[in-house]
A and B are shown apart, each in its own frame.
Chain A
Amino acid sequence: MKKKNVRIVINGAEHCAEVEPRLLLVHFLREIAGLTGTHIGCETSLCGACTVLLDGMAVKSCTVLAVQADGRSITTIEGLAASENLHPIQEAFWEEHGLQCGYCTPGMILCAHDLLQQNASPSEQEIRDGIGGNLCRCTGYQHIVNAVKAASRKMNQRQRAAARAAD
């Protein structure tokens, strides 16, 4: 198979490589960029463990080809928090015990990020529906739902505080 050059910006850093057209984005992230925080749970876009942000929107990176991400920007779990601090969603998952084995967690957090971008204050049902593409086998979801609610409160509070500071 003829290889193609791709250039993908991942967490703000540019990664260039010559890849087979069939290479999955998740394999590019894990094998070429060395970012193993994005996990593979099914390779069929059903479990959501491999969820990343593609130009800010949640996608399952096991069903995106690396060549489709050429010239675009990816955020993985490693790049979600701006600095040493945790992102409010990461904080909320920690505080609300929103994870046990941690395997679904990066995908779940990035999916929640997408949800909260679209709906800053989702209801319980909206959260349950919103994370419907991501499976967790450990938690029974209640603590994940609580974590997303807590993250929503945190992000809204911080946004209000930032708005006040700007006034």
Chain B
Amino acid sequence: MASNGKSNGKAKGNGQWVGKRFKRKEDPRLVRGISHYTDDIKLPRLVHCVFVRSPHAHARIVSLNTEAARSQPGVLAVITSADIEGLGMIPCAMQMPDLKIPAHPALAKGRVRYVGEPVAAVVAEDAYIARDAAEMVAVDYEPLPVVLDMEKALQKDSALIYQEFGTNKAFTHAMKSGDIEAAYKKADRVVKVRLINQRVAPTAMEPRSVVAEYLPGENRLTIWASTQIPHLLRTQVAIMVGLPEPAVRVIAPEVGGGFGSKLNVYAEDGVVPWLSMKLGRPVKWTETRREGLMVTIHGRDTINYLELPVKKDGTVLGLRAKVLADMGAYHQLLTPLIPQLTALMLPGCYKIPAFDCEIVGVFTNKMSTDAYRGAGRPEAAYDIERLMDCAARELNLDPAKFRSKNFPQPREFPFTTAAGLLYDSANYQQSLKRALQLAGYDKLRARQKVGWKQGKYYGVGVSTYVEICAIGPSAATPAGGWESATVRIEPTGKVTVLTGASPHGQGQETTFAQLVADQLGINPDDITIIHGDTLAVPYGIGTFGSRGTAVGGTAVYYAVEKLKIKIAALAAHLLGAKPADIVIAHGRVGVKGNAKKSMSWGEIILAAYTARSIPAGFEPGMEATHFFEPSNFTFPFGTHICAVEVDPETGEIKIEKYVAVDDCGNVINPMLVDGQVQGGIAQGLSQALYEEMVYNEDGQPITGSLMDYAVPKAAHIPEFILDRTVTPTPVNPMGVKGVGEAGTIASTPCMVNAVCDALAPLGITNIDMPLKPERVWRAIAAAQAAVPPPSATTAKSARTARRTA
């Protein structure tokens, strides 16, 4: 059995390097602490920016007095919305027919709509002076009624966040297929559940940071930013500050995690460069953790009404969903997009003949939601996987067998889902079978039966997930779904790869080198991957949506293939052979069937640069660029199983076993895939068990520090048992699907299913996350007050008793 978090899944090694556990090229500099994140950037004459933020969730700004702050020694500037008339709005990339997009100024103008909204910025010679001065900015607010609860926000008598819209509804989005009315008519039962997917904070360990330096002589604005999307940020900032795009250079140096939160354009991204242009000094702003929890985008925050019409035998006939999605007070870059990904993935890995889904976006006086690891898909997986478990319980069917009954068969792929997506390839049955074996599922069920009779609450959670990755075909994305790569073999034979995918911990410097090493028959140590600098790298999209390898890596693959054609043409010319007979391998270029005719790698590459003898039409040099446009998304999948014991006295949950069998297609580096899976599971489990961004009734975020916001520690996370199945995708030539979000998508419902399963004898069918001991205990106490203790009831009769906690 796999253990210690090391999977034993057979990676399909199709070369010397691909498929191998290969130590990361990034690490020597990172373990020494000698490379640079944005806040590490030092420039001569650098000054520091601090933002003054609203303490109110909703208020009118009556007056703003910056005099005292401005007069402090060492303070260079204090600005408010009146000073930045020329600075553009914070962008939202989404377009939909009925989408309401509020004006989103970088500094609040007249009104504030969430706690933390920036109202002024202070620049000083050092950060301490700037912080002191920020406290001297006097703002007089007139509080307005606060809108926090989505369901109340949609009622007619609710206060409005935007009078001009006449509603707090940001958009509605409907999706339908099949005959849902017929499904309800044919159904023996309709399983219903209301699920809350709570608001969480991404909390990358590196806070956001922006450094900007404007050189008027060169007309060059250089921005260092902790971002996942340097090129998109460059375009947007150029528009905001009004410079031609070529004058703006964005550098994403080391980026300390993102999880979607740095796939955005924030107020600070516009204000800091603008200040640098006005002051003629380089300016730095670095987020405090308190700001990070308050004003970096949040994830999730949906209320889900779900209905599943089913036959007694376990055949699913349809799925109806109404989802309320909290936008927060403004739209950030992709805010309204996220719940649409939920709609697309709601049918999960099941054959569902009829689908009826409505999504409603709602404005509230909170920070914006946006992409957080999984971005809409964890919500979908949570909905369908929790609903399937509730249905299994109502039908008195085993949840694994019930799922399996509704899987499409492997031969049915590519498979069109109820939401209209074309799933590329899968074998859900194999993945489920493997996970059941690894978990010792039958034994766990047998133990549970005995345990329940003895007052022991053992539970087993199953989650069979599918995710939409390799985002994505451009037609289905708001800002281009392709990726670029330029591969240059330098005159010395060393290789430079420029990739538009801008990683922040994923390890593309390693995996892309492995890939190129195999294609060219050279060593990964001779390959350098450059990313995150818009002056060096052709336009790219970035790293998010599990696209780095499947889209960015594929661009690299095709650029290298172009170079191989070029090498073959030159070698054929120099060796007197046909291009088709040229073999590139083991650091040499030779001719098939003629061992005498060959050149070393160095000789052939140098010949391309010296260009003394080249075939007709051959362009000197050795560089190729490819912009890869994917034909479809990819759909990784898998099965996670979790075994728990719940202590009825305390509500504490003991995780006894966690098994994850994931299928992300072919694997380039199994060690890195394991790392992605483990990190993802930890984040998903943590949403299930610990994390929640809480606002009080006044709209104050009360989980505003890491003391209150529960990012898990090492002892909170169990050891995982990992395995893989390998079902390559036909969407790209490497057969890779993407793995960055899998763990986060699968694990949340898996955990909650396990706990609800454990408490089934009490008739508990749902507890909303996070499953803190207190919440679990309350659910148990309420259920115990309503039904006899478990010793007096049998598991079977308990399974039919229903009560929602």
Residues of A within 8 A of B (CB): 20, 22-23, 30, 34-44, 46-47, 49, 76-78, 81, 86, 90, 93-95, 97, 99-106, 109, 124-125, 127-129, 131-133, 135-146
Q: Are B40 and A140 in contact (CB under 8 A)?
A: no
A141 (CB) vs chain B CBs: closest residue: B714
Interchain residue pairs with CB less than 8 A apart (15)? A36-B39, A46-B289, A46-B706, A77-B33, A90-B32, A94-B23, A100-B257, A101-B205, A104-B205, A105-B31, A106-B31, A125-B715, A131-B714, A137-B683, A140-B743
Min distance, Cβ A140 to any Cβ of chain B, angstroms: 3
Q: Contacts A44-B705, A77-B33, A78-B33 known; A49 to B205 CB distance under 8 Å?
A: yes
B408 interface residue (CB < 8 Å to A):
no
A21, chain B: closest CB distance, angstroms = 12
| In the complex, per-residue mask of B1-38: 1 if CB is within 8 Å of any chain A CB, else 0 | 00011000000000000000001101110111111110
Nearest CB of chain B from residue A62's CB, rounded to whole Å: 10
B409 within 8 A of A: no
Closest to A47 in B: B706
**Inter-chain contact A97/B674, CB cutoff 8 Å:** yes
B32 touches A136 (CB 8 A): no
Given contacts A142-B719, A143-B5, A101 and B504 within 8 Å (CB-CB):
yes
Q: Which of A42, A97, A124 contacts B675 (CB 8 A)?
A: A97
> Which residues between 558 and 604 of chain B lie within 8 Å of chain A, taking CB atoms?
none
- Interface residue? B426 (CB, 8 A): no
A138 to B27 alpha-carbon distance, docked (Å): 14
What's the tally of chain B residues with a CB closer than 8 Å to chain A? 57
Residues of B within 8 A of A104 (CB): 205
Kindly name the residue among A47, A99, A135, A141 whose own CB sees the greatest number of chain B CB atoms within 10 A: A141
| Bound form: Cα–Cα A146–B505 in Å | 19
B637 in contact (CB, < 8 A): no
Please give the distance in Å from A61's CB to the nearest CB on chain B.
Answer: 13
Bound CA–CA A22/B129 (angstroms): 12
A142–B717 Cα gap in the complex (Å)?
Answer: 8
User: What separation, in Å, do the CA atoms of A131 and B714 have in the docked complex?
Assistant: 7
Complex Cα–Cα for A1 and B437 (A) = 67
State whether B288 touches A43 (Cβ < 8 A).
Answer: yes
Q: Once the chains are docked, how many angstroms separate the CA of A161 from the CA of B755?
A: 50
Q: Are A140 and B678 within 8 A (Cβ)?
A: yes
Extra contacts, 8 of them, besides A95-B23, A125-B715 (Cβ < 8 A), are A40-B207, A42-B706, A77-B31, A86-B32, A93-B27, A101-B204, A103-B206, A140-B682
Measured between beta carbons, the chain A residues less than 8 angstroms from B27 are: 93-94, 99, 102
Determine whether B256 belongs to the interface, using a CB cutoff of 8 Å to chain A.
Answer: yes
Query: Would B205 and A97 count as touching, CB distance under 8 A?
Result: no
- B31 near A42 (CB under 8 angstroms)? no
| Cα distance, A126 to B675, chains bound together (Å) | 22
- Expressed in whole angstroms, the Cα–Cα distance for A156 and B706 within the complex equals 35
Chain A's interface: helix, strand, loop or mixed, by majority?
loop
Q: B618 contacts the other chain (Cβ, under 8 Å)?
A: no
Contacts of A78 in B (CB 8 A): 32-34
> Given A43-B289, A101-B205 in contact, is the A140-B4 Cβ separation under 8 Å?
no
Chain B residues whose CB sits within 8 angstroms of the CB of A145 once the complex forms: 714, 719
- Are B705 and A46 in touch, CB under 8 angstroms? yes
Within 8 Å of chain A (Cβ to Cβ): is B133? Answer: no
Which A residue sits closest to B505, measured CB to CB?
Answer: A101
* CB atoms of A128 and B714 under 8 A apart: yes
B792, CB-defined interface residue at 8 Å:
no
Docked-complex contact A140 and B705, CB < 8 angstroms: no
Residues 628 to 667 of chain B near chain A (Cβ within 8 Å): none
Q: Which residue of B lies closest to A100 (CB)?
A: B505
Q: Is the CB of B26 within 8 A of A102?
A: yes
Q: Is A142's CB under 8 angstroms from B5's CB?
A: yes
Which residues of chain B are near A49, meaning CB under 8 Å?
205
Complex contacts, B706 vs chain A, CB 8 Å:
42, 44, 46-47, 135
Contacts A94-B24, A94-B28, A100-B506 given; does A140 touch B707 at CB 8 Å: no
Residues of A within 8 A of B288 (CB): 43
Least Cβ distance of A75 to chain B in Å? Answer: 11
B79 at the interface (CB under 8 A from A): no
Inter-subunit contact B717/A141 (CB<8 Å): yes
Q: Is residue B350 within 8 Å, beta carbon to beta carbon, of the partner chain? A: no
A34 to B34, alpha carbons, bound, how many Å? 11
**In the bound complex, how far is the Cα of B292 from the Cα of A49, in angstroms?**
15
The answer for the CA separation of A133 and B505 in the assembled complex, in Å, is 22
CB distance from B571 to the nearest CB of A (A): 37
Q: Would you give the shortest CB distance from B291 to chain A, in whole angstroms?
A: 11
- Which of B33, B256, B507, B720 is packed against the most chain A CB atoms within 10 Å? B33
The CA-CA distance from A78 to B255 in the complex, in Å, is: 19
Q: Would you give the shortest CB distance from B231 to chain A, in whole angstroms?
A: 20
Q: Which residues of A contact B714 (CB under 8 A)?
A: 127-129, 131-132, 136, 141, 144-145
Cβ-defined partner of B206 (8 Å) among A90, A93, A101, A143: A101
**Interface assignment of B413: CB less than 8 Å from any CB of chain A:** no
A41 close to B23 (CB less than 8 A): no
Question: Which chain B residues lie closer than 8 Å to A44 at the CB level?
Answer: 289, 705-707
Q: A89 to B39, alpha carbons, bound, how many Å?
A: 26
- If A39-B37, A46-B706, A49-B205 touch, does A100 touch B675 (CB 8 Å cutoff)? yes
Judge if B671 is at the interface, Cβ distance under 8 Å.
Answer: yes
Q: A102 touches which one: B4, B5, B30 (CB < 8 A)? A: B30
A143 interface neighbour in B23, B205, B675, Cβ under 8 Å: B675
Give the most central of A47, A94, A104, A137: most B CB within 10 Å: A137
Does B128 lie at the interface of the complex (its beta carbon under 8 Å from any beta carbon of A)? Answer: yes
Question: B203: CB under 8 A from chain A?
Answer: yes
Q: Does B259 contact A (CB under 8 A)?
A: yes
B235-260 interface mask toward A, CB cutoff 8 Å, 1 = contact, 0 = none? 00000000000000000001111010
B203's nearest neighbour on chain A, judged by CB, is: A137
Q: Give the CA-CA distance A132 to B706 in the complex, in Å.
A: 13
- Interface 1/0s, chain B 697-732, versus A by CB < 8 A? 000000001110001011101011000000000000
Instruction: Write out, one digit per residue, whether chain B residues 360-390 have a CB within 8 A of any chain A CB (1) or not (0).
Output: 0000000000000000000000000000000
A102: which B residues are within 8 A, CB to CB?
A: 26-27, 30-31, 35, 254, 256, 505
Question: Within 8 Å of chain A (Cβ to Cβ): is B473?
Answer: no
Selected contact of A109 from candidates B31, B681, B705, CB within 8 Å: B31
Q: Which residues of B contact A103 (CB under 8 A)?
A: 37, 204-206, 254, 256-257
- B680 in contact (CB, < 8 A): yes
Contacts of B31 in A (CB 8 A): 77, 86, 90, 93-94, 99, 102, 105-106, 109
User: Assuming the A-B contacts A97-B672, A102-B505, A131-B714, are A39 and B206 also in contact, with contact meaning beta carbons closer than 8 angstroms in the complex?
Assistant: yes
Contact with A along B440-460 (1 / 0, CB 8 A): 000000000000000000000
Query: Chain B residues with Cβ under 8 A from A125's Cβ?
Result: 715
Tell me the smallest distance from the CB of B178 to a CB of chain A, in Å. 39
Q: With a CB–CB cut-off of 8 A, which chain B residues contact A146? A: 4-5
**How far, in Å, is B745 (CB) from chain A's closest CB?**
14
Within 8 A of A (CB), among B33-84: 33-37, 39-40, 42
